[in-house]
C-alpha cells in the first residue's frame, strides 16, 4: 500500500486510531477527516514525514465530504453514534460519504456497520445501521461493509465502563446476562480494514468477532476477576431490566430503551460469513490483552497485580 492515499473519516476516534496505525504500518498515506481535526493531531507522530494529513469534515454536512475524499485511492467511513441522531449519521451521513466517493471516482470504499444491522430491527441503532448499509450499496455498489461485534481496547467505552462500575460498587446488576457477544480487539479491526483495502474484496460484507463467544454475565465476571474485585453480581430478570431501560438509567451504567432492544439479540458472527479467517488474521482474545490496561482498576494498580501474581 506504499503511497496509497486513504481517507479515514473518523480516524481520530476509538477505532479510527487503530485503523490509521494499521494503514501507516503498510506504508499508506492517510488523510484523517474529523469535525475538529485538532482532536486527531496526536496521530501525526505515528507516521513518517508527510504521511499523515488532516482535514475538517462532517458526515451530516455533505458539502464538507467532497474535499475530504478528493484524490483518495480508498475511503473508510467509521462514523457512528450510540444515541441521538441515528438517521442523520448512520443513513444520510453514510449515503453522503458513499455518493461523494463515487463522484470522486474513488476505487475502494469501506463502510463500518455493526453485527445486528437490519433495516427491520426494533432498535433505532440496528435499523439505522441496516438502512445505512442499503444507502451505501445504492450509491456505491462495490462498497465493502464491515460488521464488528463489540469492540474492546484500551480506550473503549464498554469493558472500561463496566470495570469502573465494578471497581466502585459492592453490587453489580447485570441486564440480559445470557445475551452472547464475540468481543473483538480494536487493533485486529484496524488490521482487517487495512487488509480489505489492500486485497480484492469489492462488494463483500465482512463480520468481525474475536475467538471467544461470551455472555454478558461471563464478561462481567471476567472483568471482576481480572481487576481483583469480588462484588455481588445480580442478574436481573427481564421485567426489572425493561423497567430500568424505560426509565433511561441504571446507577453507574446508563442504558437507554434502544440499547435494551439491542440486548434482545446475540451479537455474534453469522455462520458462513466472511471473517478474519478469510483475511489471514488471527484475532486476539480479550484475556490476552485486556489485563494490560484494566490493571488501573485494581486496588493498588500495577502493584496490586504484582502482589496477586506472586500469591498465585
**What is the CATH code of the structural domain delimited by 5-155+184-208?**
3.40.50.720
Q: Distance between CA 94 and CA 257 in Å, rounded?
A: 24
Does the pTM of the predicted model rise above 0.85? yes
pLDDT digits (tens, 9 = 90+) for 17-60: 999 999 999 999 999 999 999 999 999 999 888 899 999 999 99
Nearest-angstrom CA–CA distance, 310 and 194: 40
Q: Please report which confidence band the pLDDT of residue 245 belongs to, taking 50, 70 and 90 as the band edges.
A: confident
pLDDT digits (tens, 9 = 90+) for 287-303: 999 999 999 999 877 66
Amino acid at each position: 500500500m506504499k503511497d496509497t492515499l486513504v481517507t479515514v473519516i473518523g480516524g481520530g476516534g476509538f477505532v479510527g486510531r487503530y485503523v490509521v496505525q494499521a494503514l501507516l504500518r503498510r506504508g499508506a498515506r492517510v488523510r484523517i477527516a474529523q469535525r475538529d481535526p485538532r482532536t486527531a493531531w496526536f496521530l501525526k507522530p505515528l507516521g513518517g514525514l508527510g504521511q499523515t494529513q488532516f482535514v475538517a469534515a462532517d458526515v451530516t454536512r455533505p458539502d464538507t465530504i467532497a474535499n475530504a475524499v478528493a484524490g483518495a485511492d480508498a475511503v473508510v467511513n467509521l462514523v457512528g453514534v450510540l444515541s441521538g441522531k441515528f438517521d442523520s449519521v448512520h443513513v444520510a451521513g453514510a449515503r453522503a460519504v458513499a455518493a461523494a466517493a463515487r463522484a470522486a471516482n474513488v476505487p475502494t470504499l469501506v463502510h463500518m456497520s455493526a453485527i445486528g444491522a437490519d433495516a427491520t430491527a426494533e432498535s433505532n441503532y440496528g435499523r439505522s445501521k441496516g438502512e445505512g448499509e442499503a444507502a451505501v450499496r445504492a450509491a456505491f455498489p462495490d462498497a465493502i461493509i464491515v460488521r464488528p461485534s463489540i469492540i474492546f481496547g484500551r480506550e473503549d467505552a464498554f469493558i472500561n465502563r463496566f470495570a469502573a462500575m465494578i471497581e466502585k460498587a459492592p453490587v453489580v446488576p447485570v441486564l440480559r446476562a445470557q445475551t452472547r457477544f464475540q468481543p473483538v480487539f480494536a487493533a485486529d479491526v484496524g488490521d482487517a480494514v487495512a487488509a480489505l483495502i489492500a486485497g480484492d474484496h469489492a462488494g463483500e460484507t465482512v463480520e468481525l468477532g474475536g475467538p471467544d463467544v461470551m455472555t454478558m454475565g461471563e464478561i462481567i465476571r471476567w472483568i471482576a476477576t481480572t481487576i481483583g474485585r469480588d462484588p455481588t453480581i445480580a442478574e436481573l430478570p427481564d421485567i426489572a431490566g425493561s423497567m430500568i431501560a424505560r426509565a433511561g438509567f441504571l446507577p453507574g451504567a446508563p442504558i437507554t430503551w434502544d440499547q435494551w432492544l439491542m440486548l434482545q439479540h446475540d451479537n455474534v458472527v453469522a455462520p458462513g460469513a466472511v471473517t478474519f479467517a478469510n483475511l489471514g488474521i488471527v484475532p486476539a482474545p480479550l484475556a490476552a490483552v485486556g489485563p494490560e490496561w484494566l490493571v488501573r482498576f485494581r486496588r493498588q494498580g500495577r502493584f496490586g497485580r504484582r502482589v496477586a501474581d506472586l500469591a498465585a
